[in-house]
Amino acid sequence: MDTVYWPFMAYLGLVFVLVASILGISHFLGERHIERTTPDPFESGIVGTGTARSRLSIKFYLVALFFVIFDVESVFIFAWAIAFREVGWTAYIEVLFFIAVLVAAWVYLWRQGALDWGTTWHQKLERQRRARGEEKGGLGSGPSATERADL
């Protein structure tokens, strides 16, 4: 064996001895009791109910995706802010364009309803109008006072 590797091998051996001794000591000194509630998971004093296999709404994943997108945006803007004096006004215009593209994407998602968690009064009104056979109202045709009371 080469003399370069013996310190690493000694370190690796000591790590294995330390891990084995800690596990062995905890095994021999640890409590041994099995009660009715021992196998149950325990979280913050709240007794678990139901199953952990329930499905989450797709909205939670969308929020996580939006968070990642806008978090990465903030990293880019922070890096630009650190180097602002060196990169000058050209980079400022580029960052403004970058933010404008992201804001446009956010507005598009908002208008498409990707950020809506439930039905809004616009959607309820549209369903009521379709049920009555009415045509969709034009721009600025909000609900009347009686229609709002029905919502």
Mean predicted confidence (pLDDT) in 10-30: 95
Which range has the top average pLDDT, 2-6, 83-87, 88-92, 93-97? 93-97
Structure-model confidence comparison of residues 45 and 24, the more confident one? 24
Where b means 16+ CB within 10 Å and e means fewer, 25-49 reads eeeeeeeeeeeeeeeeeeeeeeeee
pLDDT at residue 7 tops 70: yes
Q: Which residue has the tokens 């004093």?
A: 45
pLDDT of residue 30: 85
Express each pLDDT in 121-142 by its tens digit: 667 777 788 888 765 555 455 5
Nearest to 151 by CA among 128, 118, 131: 128
Q: Does 64 score more than 80 pLDDT?
A: yes
Residue 35 in tokens: 């009660």
Where do the domains of the chain lie? 54-116
Q: Could you give the dihedral angle defined by the CA atoms of residues 91, 97, 98 and 104, in that order, rounded to the nearest 10 degrees?
A: 170
- The arithmetic mean of pLDDT across residues 76-99, rounded, is 90
Highest mean pLDDT among 50-59, 67-76, 110-119, 136-145: 67-76
The residue with tokens 């041994």 is 32
Average pLDDT estimate for 146-151 = 54
How far apart are alpha carbons 129 and 110 in whole angstroms?
A: 23
CA distance linking residue 58 with residue 65, whole number of Å: 11
